[in-house]
Amino acid sequence: MDERDEYTADDLDIVEFDESVFEAVDLSRDTFKKHLEEAATLARDFTRTLVTNTLPDTIAYTIHYGCSYDGNPLVQDEKTFPEDYDKDPITTESAEEVTANLWRDGFVPEWINVTVSREDGQFTHIQLKCCGRYSAMPRQMYHIHEGRPPFHVLGPPMPPDYNREDTVKFNLYWREDA
């Protein structure tokens, strides 16, 4: 294509979505807790491949509520908990306590971003940034394709000049060193 050519809808391939993916989604309390533990472990282990810091095996969680824009009208089967928006983050060493705070009669945040925020020599601290919209419907969950809905594992913030191909690790606290 040269600069005068334009893309049109005719250039798009339509991929049929397999609706059966929703049938396999389990939002039960036990599975939510299992997915939480798996996502936290994966975040810790992935971060270990990137940073020079020693990340303890033991995990502590910090819940950040209402990390989404929820001003648009909710769709059917969505809930918000207005009191959450005024809550300070909660830190706990217990996946059970996280589950008790986020699994609400079958309703869970539609997405939860999971990342290592710090370590203190005793714990690897996992930050949970949670959507303010809750649902009990698999169709509303994000990150189904990752196998642990609604959890989405992210790596730590990387220095601006970082090149992963160099395989050189960086300090988790690089911002504080700058």
Which of 41-45, 62-66, 136-140, 160-164 shows the lowest mean pLDDT across its residues?
Answer: 160-164
When pLDDT is averaged across residues 137-154 and rounded to a whole number, the result is 93
**In the chain, what percentage of residues exceed pLDDT 90?**
70
Query: For residue 57, is it within any domain?
Result: yes
Q: How far apart are CA 52 and CA 22, in angstroms?
A: 39
User: What is the residue range of 85's domain?
Assistant: 20-177
Number of domains in the chain: 1
Q: How far apart are CA 178 and CA 157, in angstroms?
A: 14
Distance spanning both ends of the chain, measured CA to CA: 44
| Locus of tokens 């714990």 | 123
When pLDDT is averaged across residues 146-173 and rounded to a whole number, the result is 91
pLDDT digits (tens, 9 = 90+) for 18-47: 777 888 889 999 999 999 999 999 999 999
Query: For residue 161, is it within any domain?
Result: yes
Predicted confidence (pLDDT) at residue 115 exceeds the cutoff of 90 = yes
Query: For residue 58, is it within any domain?
Result: yes
Query: For residue 127, is it within any domain?
Result: yes
pLDDT digits (tens, 9 = 90+) for 74-114: 888 899 999 999 999 999 999 999 999 999 999 999 999 99
Query: For residue 7, is it within any domain?
Result: no
Predicted confidence at residue 133, as pLDDT, reads 95
When pLDDT is averaged across residues 126-147 and rounded to a whole number, the result is 93
Query: For residue 104, is it within any domain?
Result: yes
Q: How far apart are CA 116 and CA 55, in angstroms?
A: 9
Q: How far from the centroid of its chain's Cα atoms is residue 19's Cα?
A: 23
**In the chain, what percentage of residues exceed pLDDT 70?**
94
- Which stretch of DSSP H or E encloses residue 174? helix 174-177
Query: For residue 141, is it within any domain?
Result: yes
When pLDDT is averaged across residues 6-11 and rounded to a whole number, the result is 74
With b for 16 or more beta-carbon neighbours within 10 A and e for fewer, the 154-174 pattern comes to eebeeeeeeeeeeeeebebeb
The structure's pTM equals 0.87
